A and B are shown apart, each in its own frame.
Chain A
Amino acid sequence: MTTLTETTTPASKRLERRAARARRIREPRTDRIFLFCVYLLLGVFLLVVLLPLLYIVASSFSSPEAVSSGRVLFWPVDFSLRGYHAVFENPQIIQGYLNSLFYTVVGTIVSVTMTIAIAYPLSRRTLVGRNVVMTLILFTMLFTGGLIPTYLVVQSAGLLDTRWALIIPQAIGVWQVIIARTYFRTAIPEELVEASQLDGCGDLRFLWSVVIPLAKPMIAVVALMYAIMQWNSYFDALIYLKNPDLFPLQLVLRNILILNTTGGGAVDASVVIQRQQLADLLKYSLIVVASVPVLLIYPFVARYFTKGILIGAVKG
């Protein structure tokens, strides 16, 4: 008895296993090689993107001498914060930082308000004329007047060399309007509108107390898109602003990083060398400081950001 069961069980198990293996579709060996190549490829992608970033960050935390002698690779050499001290001692950079904060906060509030104000009515199916308006808005994506004609409008509006020149002319993004409108259409059921109308709720009240609370995730995405755009933009400042006190951080960055304007003449040769070394180091630290605000929020918003792109991209 016992011997019988002992001999049959492994046999049946083996059979079962074989049957299971037959049922599962086998991965051919070529597939495993292929998958290995895929991992290899992704690894290359990862390194290519990551290494320049690491190099910049590592340099920014190194000593001026180590950076100038090219000893820094992907890890700080002679750890020092001299570069960051230099960044925060520069009044131009501080002013630019504060200006950028202002432009980002005020610009985002203005943009989000305007976007909702146009996108919500356009999402209501009972609004006559909404298709005409939408077409007119979409057309501006395909054809623009150009740089000079736009400049002349900003000029005649009296916005040149004022803070508003960086906020008003690019207040509304067509892309964001599309995202908001699609969200309002798909997330706010028509039944909700009808029910609230029966309860005597007007359109504006409905927008304020039902639609906006329901659309918070989308509003967050759109707000972040505008905020990042504002924080990163320099072109409008370049053409509309002359007063350096109004310059956003990106324009200050351009002057320091790309045009190489480091002030002050020196007498002593060693002082010149030291100053040059510090100026080189400052660039690395400055890049890190300027990108930190955006990269800090990035991990929290990336997922929603992706969703935002998709709302705009996929048929809805």
Chain B
Amino acid sequence: MTTTSRSQKALFLALNIVLLVLFVFPLFMILVNSFKDRVDIVRSPLSLPAEWSFKNYSEAYTTMGFTSALLNSLLITIVAVILILIFSSSFAFFLVRWKWRMNNVILMMLIASMIIPFQAIMIPFVSLFGNLHMLNSKWSLIYFYLGFGISLSTFMYHGFVKGVPKEMDEAALIDGAGKVRLFTQIIFPILKPITTTIAILNVLWIWNDFLLPSLVLVSPEDRTLPLSTFYFFGKYTSNYGVAMAALVFSMIPVVIFYIVMQRQIIRGVVEGAVK
């Protein structure tokens, strides 16, 4: 804006600060109280801790099984996202470059499926895969994420692949590359910007997902971070300090990810939404 006056600027800045404080206040409260003992929290939840004790953290760490939950979440998210990227990019390449009639039908099916909410298929999903004994395994969960992630990711890649000139393909094929090499060495590298966006959207979704893993993962040792936080809270509702420390633990990884990848995350979310 060209005509913003000095006083207007000051007003905007003040508003910004007040709103930001309001926004992060709940998270700040959790952090502050995670260092206090139970009595302190109940007596004065708003005050800073008299002494900063890490006792809650050590207790939360062991009881919530943080290491195992973190490793499960990392394994599931990383493997599932890599599979989604590989298979949806190649699928989009296939759907764009081969003009078979079937390919249009597939694309329409992918688009139509995006309005189906998980709740609408959750009951048959559980009975089907329960009968096939595919529940209770991290690897099945990864496969399910691939299935649920294919439609949106393929759709986003589809728009991007269409923009890649066909001359690229022709040049590579004339140079003697096979179709697999053409895709892996020419096309996929060109798709890098959209790959980042798709990767980020899928990471945030899979990392934070609760309902699907809660239906699929039965054994405690398979639990992801949201799951272990949930079960931990069921037992620890009255022991606030430890519960707060557990919440901080479950937020740390994604906050680190955010600090490192902030620009790409914000850009990715915008691009993903506007598509």
Q: Are these two chains actual partners, yes or no?
A: no
